[in-house]
Amino acid sequence: MNHQIVLRVIAKMFIPFILLFALYVQFHGDFGPGGGFQAGVIFAAAFVLYGLVFGVDAAKRVAHPTLLQWCVAIGLLIYAGTGMMGILLGGTFLDYNVLNSHDPVHGQHLGILLVEFGIGLTVASVMITTFLCFAGHRPS
C-alpha cells in the first residue's frame, strides 16, 4: 500500500493517539472501565495499523520479533512474580496486602498495578506476534 499517501499520513497521525489511549486505559483501569486486557489489545492495534499501511517488514523493524517473544513470557512472569512476592513477604500466593509493610491498601494498589501491567505486556505482544506471523506467512 505504498502509494496510498492519504492512508499513510492519516495512519501516522493516529498511531501516537492510539498508543496514548492504550496507556490511559492501562493505568486508569482502577478508576474507569479498562485494564490490562483492553489496553494490550489497543496497544497492539496501533502496531497492526502500522503493519497494514507500511508493510509487515517495516512493522518487524519497529517491533522486533525476538523482543516480542521475550515480552510474551515476561508479562506472565511479572504476574506470577507478583504472586510469589506475596509468599516471600510472608503472605499467601497473590496476596497483595503484604507488598506494603505500612498500609495493606497501598499494597493492593501496587499489586493491581503490577499485575495489570503484566497482563497488558503479554496481551499486546501476543497480539502483535500473532498478526506478524499470520500476515508475514507465505503459503508454500
Partner 1 sequence: MIELIDLSLLLFLAVLAVLVARLHNLFAVVMVMGFYSLVSAALFTVLDAVDVAFTEAAVGAGISTIILLATLLQTTSEEKPQPLRLVPLVIVLATGATLVLATGDMPQYGDPEAPIHRHVAPRYIEDSAREIGVPNIVTSVLASYRGYDTLGETTVIFAAGVGVLLLLGRSLRATKDDAGGGA
Which region holds residue 34: left if phi is over 0, alpha if psi is between -120 and 50, else beta? Answer: left
How far, in Å, are 25, 48, 100 from residue 11 at the CA level?
20, 11, 43
Choice from 50, 53, 54, 111 touching partner 1 (CB under 8 A) = 111
Instruction: Write the CB contacts of 95 (distance below 8 Å, at least 6 apart in sequence).
Output: 86
Is residue 91 at the binding interface for partner 1, with CB under 8 A as the rule? no
Can residue 94 be called a binding residue for partner 1 (CB under 8 A)? Answer: yes
C-alpha 7, offset from chain centre = 25
Interface residue with partner 1 among 50, 54, 79, 85 (CB under 8 A) is 79
59 lies in the site for partner 1, by CB under 8 A: no
53 in contact with partner 1 (CB under 8 A): no
- Chosen residue from 52, 89, 98, 110 binding partner 1 by CB under 8 A: 52
> Binding to partner 1 by residue 19, rule CB under 8 A?
no
